[in-house]
Amino acid sequence: RYLTDLPPDEHAARLRFVVLLAYATGLRASELADARCGRLQRRAVGEAGEEMVRLRVLGKGGRIRWVPIAPAVMDALGEYLRERGLPADPAHCDPAIPLLARLSRTVGQGADVANCNEPLTTAAIYRIFKQPFGDISRQLERKGLIEDAAQLARASTHWMRHTFGSHAAADQVPLTVVQKVLGHASLATTTLYSQAEDEVVWREVGRFVARRAS
């Protein structure tokens, strides 16, 4: 409700996208900051040639993993890219363009378009999440929900990662799928999955995001 009630501006567009992206992927703040258009991979799967999208992520310890990007997240990315003056299809963007970027600045009579395509730091992404959590905490406090307010005040980027894991498990997404998406250290060192495994991971996360983020 908080995100829906935001005014239609660049800040709101970025916040709506980053919250959905973090929730639907369980990426760490550093991984969100490092995400680029050129690291999105598309592949046709199934008899109908359905398009599967994955993001190549460099995680802890230099381990590479492929994180499925649900159709709902791709739709939101397209809207956010258009807000930044870029093609809605990330395949038509410069590969180095970050998925998350700084806000544009008003310069003279126009917008500084280049600035709004500069990447965010991990610290900046942390602050982006703390702002809405803080606002919601204050709203809850005004309603007398003191314990809830205190809990939201402690929320951070990493909470979105845990929320993905707990909600996915609650929705009966196979734990092996959740572990692969989060890139837990307990996984085997290899991160190259078979095509069948890739498709299962992508489909399961797509169903989860469609249920939870609609």
| For residue 194, pLDDT beyond 50 | no
Q: What is the pLDDT of residue 186?
A: 56
* pLDDT one-digit tens code per residue, 106-121: 444 444 555 668 899 9
Q: What is the mean pLDDT of residues 124-134?
A: 92
Contact 27, 21 (CB under 8 A): yes
- Say if CB 179 and CB 32 are below 8 A apart: no
Reported as a pLDDT band with limits 50, 70 and 90, residue 9 is: confident
Q: Say whether pLDDT at 171 is over 80.
A: no
User: Identity (one letter) of the amino acid at 53?
Assistant: V
**The predicted structure's pLDDT at residue 146:** 94
Distance CA 61, CA 185 (A): 9
Least confident stretch, 80-94, 123-137, 156-170: 156-170
Are 70 and 205 spatial neighbours (Cβ–Cβ below 8 Å)?
yes
Q: Are 31 and 63 in contact (CB under 8 A)?
A: no
**CA–CA distance, 119 with 101 (Å, rounded to integer):** 5
Residue pair 68/181 in contact by the 8 Å Cβ criterion: yes
Mean pLDDT value across residues 173-185: 78
Of 98, 106, 104, 163, the C-alpha closest to 129 is 163
Rounded mean pLDDT, 2-29: 91
Strand partners, 36: 98
Give the separation between CA 167 and CA 114, rounded to whole angstroms.
37
Core vs surface per residue 164-186: b (16+ CB within 10 A) or e: bbebbeeeebeeebbebbbbeee
Predicted structure pTM score: 0.80
At 132-170, the pLDDT tens digits run: 999 999 999 999 999 999 999 998 888 888 888 877 877
Percent above pLDDT 90 for the chain: 48
- Mean per-residue pLDDT, 66-94: 93
* DSSP assigned state of 38: G
